[in-house]
């Protein structure tokens, strides 16, 4: 984190193009052009400023390369990024020295977005978690999440059932609570009931209540969850698990606004809003005769689909940081952020257990992490950055992800090929092959 008054400055040894300067300025970075021959004298840097040095070698001849390599070696505390042309990426001792002194490097044409992201990482930026002011409990700024938030706002004031779909852990219950909190019923009860967890013979009495003596063990009259939530909202999780008789009672409640307690024939008028969730395909259950079609239509008036976490990769880091910060408030722990490679893995992992799995992994990592940064190993996500010859495993289906993983690992290992190969669990030959494939022409640096 940087203070409000600190300036972000790129000291650019070489010649930035007009577009490059503009893009940096838009991202909040001042550019100061410097001359490698001037030995860094004229660069006015205040304490507290964030400074990154750019070794722009795109137009460098062999002499300039040598001077730059010396300059970089003389200022090892500055974070250096190197810019190379396709031609400079050949194996010479000067290039080798430049790369060894660099935290990361870029080859022309420069990917400005990656460059700006890298600068942000060096400045310690964490994407600010977006908490929607009036939508409690929901974090994320991906397009998929914005669409969810728009639907929540639209559906909340309407007194109709909402069917929430989505894989496990995507936040279906969070969405249901938000709907309640945004609705005029917000000050009335909210009841979340997992239909799959209720014993089949007790579902009716749990949901709708029973009269004294209506069955063995019914020693007293009991109010069901629906009646207890009068005036509020009932969230029926795993609604597909409701047994047939309870389906009939629910249909009646939705159609007529009445219920009967078990053991009674008296109709009770009740005002509740019903929200339902399912992670199974309810249409299929209808087709197979396991779920009533008329009930399905009643529940499915408004539909909200919670996107899987892998569909909102932009949100993963925000959520991870949010969960880490929350954990830190409760427990003693050193971890404050995630390493570059860990961020990569978090973004590339497929998250079968979605947000819940992310929460669990972050909490576990916070416990086992020893330093200030959570590593890939702490998250137990080594597989995500592992490639095997011939095919990519898990996360590495996208070529750019593969390239980024290799670069990130080379960077973390200070271009030590053997160490990089060991961390990525591939052979050194594979590292060379990957470098060639992605035009990272590196030889063994040792």
Binding residues for Mg ion (CB under 5 A): 173
Residue 171's binding partner among ligand ADP, Mg ion, none (Cβ under 5 to 8 angstroms by kind) is: ligand ADP
| Residue showing tokens 């009643």 | 298
Question: Looking at 7-15, 94-102, 132-140, 344-352, which segment touches ligand ADP (CB under 6 A)?
Answer: 132-140
Residue 140's binding partner among Mg ion, ligand ADP, none (Cβ under 5 to 8 angstroms by kind) is: ligand ADP
d(CA 102, CA 123): 16
Residue 178 or 407 with smaller CB distance to Mg ion: 178
Please state the closest distance from residue 149 (CB atom) to ligand ADP, in A: 9
CB 195 within 8 A of CB 236: yes
Is residue 153 part of the contact set for ligand ADP (CB under 6 A)? no
Q: Which of 209, 203, 134, 179 is nearest to 274 (CA)?
A: 179
- 328 vs 2, 3, 331, 335, 367, CA distance in Å? 20, 21, 5, 8, 10
Instruction: State which of positions 215-244 bind ligand ADP (CB under 6 A).
Output: none
Is residue 355 part of the contact set for ligand ADP (CB under 6 A)? yes
x/- map, 317-346, ligand ADP, by CB under 6 A: --x---------------------------
Is residue 166 part of the contact set for ligand ADP (CB under 6 A)? yes
CB 72 within 8 A of CB 97: yes
d(CA 100, CA 96): 6
d(CA 82, CA 98): 7
Is residue 173 part of the contact set for ligand ADP (CB under 6 A)? yes
Q: Which residue is nearest to ligand ADP, using beta carbons?
A: 171
Is residue 386 part of the contact set for ligand ADP (CB under 6 A)? no
Distance, C-alpha 221 to centroid of its chain? 47
d(CA 255, CA 181): 24
**Tokens (6 digits) for 434:** 């990957």
d(CA 10, CA 378): 33
Q: Which of 307, 389, 306, 376 is nearest to 348 (CA)?
A: 376
Residue 377's binding partner among Mg ion, ligand ADP, none (Cβ under 5 to 8 angstroms by kind) is: none
Instruction: State which of positions 390-429 bind ligand ADP (CB under 6 A).
Output: none
Please state the closest distance from residue 262 (CB atom) to ligand ADP, in A: 28
Residue 355's binding partner among ligand ADP, Mg ion, none (Cβ under 5 to 8 angstroms by kind) is: ligand ADP
For 396, the 3-state DSSP assignment is coil
**Tokens (6 digits) for 212:** 């004294």
Residue 92 or 363 with smaller CB distance to ligand ADP: 363
Residue 172 or 261 with smaller CB distance to ligand ADP: 172
Please state the length of the chain: 446
Please state the closest distance from residue 171 (CB atom) to ligand ADP, in A: 3
The site that binds ligand ADP (CB under 6 A) totals a number of residues, namely 16
Residue 319 or 345 with smaller CB distance to ligand ADP: 319
d(CA 126, CA 114): 15
Phi, psi of 81 (to 5 degrees): -115, 140
DSSP single-letter state for residue 359:
H
d(CA 148, CA 143): 9
Is residue 357 part of the contact set for ligand ADP (CB under 6 A)? no
Residue 169's binding partner among ligand ADP, Mg ion, none (Cβ under 5 to 8 angstroms by kind) is: ligand ADP
CB 381 within 8 A of CB 341: no
Is residue 356 part of the contact set for ligand ADP (CB under 6 A)? yes
Is residue 292 part of the contact set for ligand ADP (CB under 6 A)? no
For ligand ADP, the binding residue among 7, 174, 333, 441 (CB under 6 A) is 174
For ligand ADP, the binding residue among 8, 172, 292, 403 (CB under 6 A) is 172
Within 10 angstroms of residue 140's Cβ, the number of other Cβ atoms is 25
Interface residues with ligand ADP (CB under 6 A)? 137-140, 166, 168-174, 319, 355-356, 359
């Amino acid at each position: 984190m940087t203070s409000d008054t600190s300036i972000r400055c790129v000291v650019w040894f070489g010649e930035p193009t007009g577009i490059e300067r503009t893009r940096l300025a838009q991202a909040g970075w001042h550019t100061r052009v410097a001359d490698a021959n001037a030995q860094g004298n004229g660069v006015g840097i205040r304490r507290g400023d964030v400074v990154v040095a750019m070794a722009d070698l795109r137009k460098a001849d062999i002499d300039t390369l040598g001077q730059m390599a010396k300059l970089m070696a003389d200022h090892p505390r500055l974070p250096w990024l190197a810019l190379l042309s396709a031609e400079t990426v050949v194996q010479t001792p000067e290039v080798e020295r430049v790369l060894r002194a660099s935290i990361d490097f870029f080859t022309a044409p420069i990917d400005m977005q990656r460059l700006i992201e890298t600068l942000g990482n060096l400045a310690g930026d964490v994407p600010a978690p977006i908490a929607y002011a009036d939508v409690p409990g929901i974090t994320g700024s991906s397009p998929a999440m914005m669409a969810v938030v728009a639907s929540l706002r639209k559906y909340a004031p309407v007194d109709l059932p909402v069917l929430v779909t989505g894989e496990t852990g995507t936040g279906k219950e969070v969405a249901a609570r938000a709907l309640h909190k945004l609705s005029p019923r917000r000050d009335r009860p909210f009841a979340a009931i997992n239909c799959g967890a209720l014993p089949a013979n007790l579902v009716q009495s749990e949901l709708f209540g029973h009269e004294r003596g209506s069955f063995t063990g019914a020693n007293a009259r009991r109010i069901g969850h629906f009646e207890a939530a009068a005036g509020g909202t009932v969230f029926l999780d795993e609604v597909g698990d409701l047994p047939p008789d309870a389906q009939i009672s629910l249909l009646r409640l939705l159609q007529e606004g009445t219920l009967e307690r078990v053991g009674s024939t008296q109709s009770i008028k009740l005002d509740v809003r019903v929200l339902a969730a399912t992670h199974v395909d309810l249409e299929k259950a209808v087709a197979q005769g396991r779920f009533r079609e008329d009930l399905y239509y009643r529940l499915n008036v408004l539909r909200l689909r919670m996107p899987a976490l892998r569909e909102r990769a932009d949100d993963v880091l925000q959520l991870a940081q949010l969960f880490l910060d929350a954990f830190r408030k409760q427990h003693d722990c050193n971890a404050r952020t995630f390493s570059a490679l860990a961020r990569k893995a978090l973004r590339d992992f497929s998250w079968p257990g979605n947000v819940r799995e992310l929460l669990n992994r972050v909490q576990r990592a916070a416990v086992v992490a020893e330093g200030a940064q959570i590593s890939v190993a702490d998250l137990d996500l080594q597989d995500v950055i592992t490639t095997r010859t011939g095919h990519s495993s898990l996360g590495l289906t996208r070529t750019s992800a593969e390239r980024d993983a290799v670069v990130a690992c080379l960077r973390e290992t200070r271009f030590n090929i053997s160490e990089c190969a060991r961390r990525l669990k591939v052979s050194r030959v594979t590292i060379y092959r990957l470098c060639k494939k992605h035009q990272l022409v590196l030889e063994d640096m040792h």
